[in-house]
Chain A
Amino acid sequence: MIQIENLTFTYPGAEEPTLKNLSVEIEQGDFLAIVGNNGCGKSTFCKTLNGLIPHFTAGDMEGKVVIGGLDTRECEIGDLAQKIGYVYQDFENQIVRPTVLDDASFACLNFDVKDYEEKGRRALEMCGIAHKTDEYIWQLSGGQKHLLALAGAAALSPEILVLDEPIAQLDPAHARDIYEVLKTMNETYGKTIIVIEHHTEYIARYCKHVMLMRGGGIAWKLPAREALCRVEELQKSNIFPPQVTLAANRVAGGAETVLPVTVEEGKEFFGRYPQTDVAKARILDAPPEENTILEFENVSVEYRSVKGDPVRVLNDFNLEIHKGEKIAVIGSNGAGKSTIMKLMCGLLKPSEGKILLQGQNIKEMEMNELSQILSLVYQNPEEMFIKDSIRRDIEYAMKVRDVENYQKRTEGLLERFQLTDLQDRDGRLLSGGQMRRASLAIGIALNPSILLLDEPTANLDIATRKEILRTLSDMKNITDTVMIATHDMQLVCEWAERILVLSGGKLLKDGTREEVFNDREVMKEAGIQPPEIYQMGKEIRPEISCYTVDEFLRLFQREAV
């Protein structure tokens, strides 16, 4: 289906080629995952497939790319577009029409397909969003928008679909929906699917082959099972194998080459290893003293809606936050996580009830006072860059407040977040991980005692994610109370001491990870899932709960010694 021979590509002005002498063949009906660390050329590779390279992006291309018998160099992007569909990582920007059906059928209309509306409808059906056909784009949720972008690409019935990090911004329930749709397309409609993906659990569950890219070349392409068992190699490229595989590798001490990649397989595998008798309970840090610093009292929030009555996003919400807590807020997209954070910084006003910060009603506080105590780091770092270099962004808040030695403090922050070399660059032009670090530096510039982070690990590869985690623990001496809204359950399990589960604007559960993850009903209602290792642990020792790979390994003798 896809044949690539000795492909080398250099961006104009770049000294090194981004793709180096690639040769690979991808068969029809494959479900291929492309993995590799940030900047190894994955996205560039995908753009050579649909002809954007060399036709749209200038650069120096050598070698040959043949898609279904067509040499990409010799045919137009339009001809290729009917063979290969592409869904971007920032898929929102690829939706160009105001209504759903319009966007799904736009490509067909442009290519002069007579029954374009029918084609659009069929694509929507295939992606499971047929019930949204007549809605406006802005009425869709993030997951639905992604499905629409997919439908737009699938409408021309291409034989190949390429998706760049399809689930990076989605909660686990929506992520599963996307992959189920892809699976149907692959199995029922015989499409070839290519995904760029960091989440190896999904690769294990859905993909047939894995291709590892390293430094612009292809390290290997293997069947998914076999690929995921190459634990060391994957880790070297900043890819984390599924937790089950990781744990199995450590239990076996690297002695086995065939490792389990799913919970099902793990059951049999771990059964063969001797287990410890006593499960060591996690030693909890001493609970922080009950010193309430922030309080929600019967808070309700309504948004003005475009049509009809106002929408209630938070209903009679009560919450107490104590000094020194590490809180994770979880729940599906649209459950009200961001709303709570915006309320806390006074960016939103409650329609009923009040919020007390250190005993004082937020409503009566000046924005200036508030931002000394409390700081919010947005999900989208770009919206925090309001100056033309990150240095000026970091110093801005201190400068306008005449903080003493603000220049010195800025230097300190730049150094702490490893941004000194980048200080004169515009924040928008940095890589994902650098942007995230810069936004954290901006967020803590005023030494707030409460720090709120909205999705700090979305869109990051594992190395960058680890770095952010390290930064979080580093910041202990600056900010003592941290609240994170996230979909990342591994982060929740490794870091949080208190978990708030939100669903439909209500607080469904408030407790430790033991209390939250062991409550089946709550998990189901909020549409969340514990990390894979938790399920694995339950399979072999139902009475014990383990939340991290390290905790799981305590169940086995080898590691216990």
Chain B
Amino acid sequence: MKEKLSESIFDKISIDYIRNQVLKNAYGNDDTVIARLDPRVLLIWYCFFGIVPWFLDNVVLLICLFLFVAAAAYKAKIAPLVMFVFCLGVFSQTGYLLIVSLFFGGNAETIVPVLIMTLKVAIVSMASITVFSGLDPDRLANGLLWFGCPERLSFSISFAYRILPILMEEFQNILLSYRMRGKAPKKKGISGKIKYLIYQVKVIIQAFYPLLLNTAKRSRTTVEALELKGYRYAASNKEVKRMKLSSLKIVKHDFAFIAISVVWVFGSIGMSVTI
């Protein structure tokens, strides 16, 4: 039983699993309610939920907002791994304080401030995940472009999005080379397991070196292709930017999302006042 459990955990953290989760996160949720929103609407939405919570300290209001962003994140179908990293992050920031203070008999006076802090962090990071991982990077890049971000930044985002699968696959293959030819320490006993883990981490770090070189090699073609495809011309041509952004349209769906958000926020404020 114990062996099974450790095996399944090992299976979970395999590089293949991580690769799958990253790809899922980038490409697997393009048909969700959140992904279909106009990126500009979502960015404005993020400006609200990413900033305003810092200035609030009403527990009820914060809980309401948290429920709302949690629902949005749920609708965006965030990959489990990202969710896990999120939980870990919030916990390591402030969540553990909450538990510690509960544990040592903290009363409402000590818990409330910690709870408020935890909620703030949770709302802001949950909103970030929803926007940056729920929206496909290409649309995000277009949204940023509209708000005046430099063309290069937005191109880099969508290009990263293009080569991500290639890089992941190559990285995996290089790691496999290490596994096949290297000699991992035996996994017996606690010290063996630790040594094994250290070895794995070392290999992962070492594998970046060939990955970088291989990427440098392939980028030569990419740079030439970009030149042939007129990328440099486009950067100095305002008309191209206009054409690119003309695909962004705010439709009924977006208005509905805005309306729900506004109603929810005011409802929450109302509730926090009455309670």
Contacts and interface: CB of A to CB of B under 8 A. Distances in A.
Interface string A88-110: 10101111111100100011011
Contacts of B170: 383
Interface stretch (A289-297, A393-401, A477-485, A508-516): A393-401
A378 B213 contact: no
Contacts of A152: 229
A371 B174 CA distance: 16
B86 interface: no
Interface stretch (B113-121, B124-132, B176-184): B176-184
B239 to A, nearest CB: 5
Given A88-B221, A98-B138, A347-B180, A386 B243 contact: no
A406 interface: no
B162 A396 contact: no
A81 B173 contact: no
B152 interface: no
A386 B240 contact: no
A428 interface: yes
B167 to A, nearest CB: 11
A92 B230 contact: no
A52 to B, nearest CB: 6
A386 B166 contact: no
Contacts of A50: 228
A388 B206 CA distance: 11
A81 B158 contact: no
B215 to A, nearest CB: 10
Q: Is the interface of B mostly helix, strand, loop or mixed?
A: helix
A395 to B, nearest CB: 10
A141 to B, nearest CB: 14
B221 to A, nearest CB: 4
A421 interface: no
A380 interface: yes
Interface in B128-176: 136-138, 158-159, 161-162, 165-166, 170, 173-174, 176
Contact of A385 (B158, B210, B219, B224): B210
Given A307-B28, A383-B177, A81 B229 contact: yes
Interface in A38-74: 50, 52, 56
Contacts of B173: 378, 380, 383
B202 interface: no
B230 A382 contact: no
A261 interface: no
B97 to A, nearest CB: 36
B98 interface: no
B23 interface: yes
A304 B17 contact: yes
Nearest to A375: B180
A306 B240 contact: no
Contacts of A112: 233-234, 237, 239-240, 243
B183 A400 contact: yes
B221 A111 contact: no
A382 B182 contact: no
Interface residues of A, number: 59
B4 interface: no
Contacts of A88: 221, 224-225
Contact of A106 (B20, B177, B229, B239): B229
Contacts of B257: none
A306 B234 contact: no
Contacts of A376: 180
Contact of A426 (B20, B23, B179, B213): B213
Interface in B17-45: 17, 20, 23-24, 27-28
Nearest to A305: B20
A368 interface: yes
B243 A109 contact: yes
Contact of A107 (B24, B137, B229): B229
Contacts of B231: 96, 110
A384 B226 contact: no
Given A98-B162, A428-B214, A52 B176 contact: no
Nearest to B14: A349
B196 to A, nearest CB: 11
B252 interface: no
A426 B214 CA distance: 11
Contact of B233 (A86, A111, A114, A367): A111
B222 A96 contact: yes
Contacts of A347: 176, 179-180
Given A109-B240, A428-B213, A306 B23 contact: yes
B217 interface: yes
A50 B162 CA distance: 25
A36 B248 CA distance: 50
Residue among A93, A107, A400 with the highest chain B CB neighbour number at 10 A: A93
B185 to A, nearest CB: 10
Nearest to B19: A304
A65 to B, nearest CB: 16
B227 A442 contact: no
A152 B221 CA distance: 14
Interface in A154-173: none
Interface string B187-228: 000000000000000000011011001100111011011111
A118 to B, nearest CB: 13
Interface in B25-73: 27-28
Contact of A371 (B181, B186, B233): B181
Contact of B226 (A96, A368, A383, A397): A96
A387 B221 CA distance: 24
A401 B225 contact: no
A52 B228 contact: yes
A96 B218 contact: no
B132 to A, nearest CB: 16
A98 B207 contact: no
Contacts of B182: 396-397, 400
19 contacts: A52-B227, A95-B162, A98-B136, A99-B138, A107-B230, A110-B229, A110-B233, A112-B233, A153-B228, A306-B24, A307-B28, A371-B181, A375-B180, A382-B210, A382-B217, A386-B178, A386-B206, A400-B181, A400-B182
Given A107-B228, A386-B177, 19 more contacts: A52-B227, A78-B233, A81-B228, A88-B224, A94-B222, A97-B138, A98-B137, A107-B229, A109-B240, A112-B239, A112-B243, A138-B23, A153-B228, A304-B17, A306-B28, A345-B180, A371-B180, A378-B177, A445-B181
